[in-house]
Amino acid sequence: METALLALGLVLVVEGLVYALAPSLIEDLLAAMRALSIEQRRLMGLTALVIGVILLWIAKSLGA
């Protein structure tokens, strides 16, 4: 449970920093995402999911 809370907290910190420091970048990223097909967005999401699971597994195996 602690690891899940840590991960969620880190995600929120990073998201908050992006919105606080570069809100115009978010607009550009959203426009770029709209230009992608549904399949490309799905593939990006699945790739991010797999990378996230691998990073969590590595962190857990290192003692986090």
pLDDT digits (tens, 9 = 90+) for 6-34: 889 999 999 999 999 998 999 999 999 99
| pLDDT surpassing 90 at residue 58 | yes
Domain of residue 12 covers: 2-61
Cα–Cα separations (whole angstroms), residue 43 to 10, 15, 24, 25, 51: 23, 21, 25, 22, 12
Predicted confidence band of residue 54 (pLDDT cuts 50, 70, 90) = very high
Tally of structural domains, the chain: 1
Q: What is the average pLDDT across 58-64?
A: 86
pTM of the model: 0.69
Residue 3 near residue 59, CB atoms below 8 Å: yes
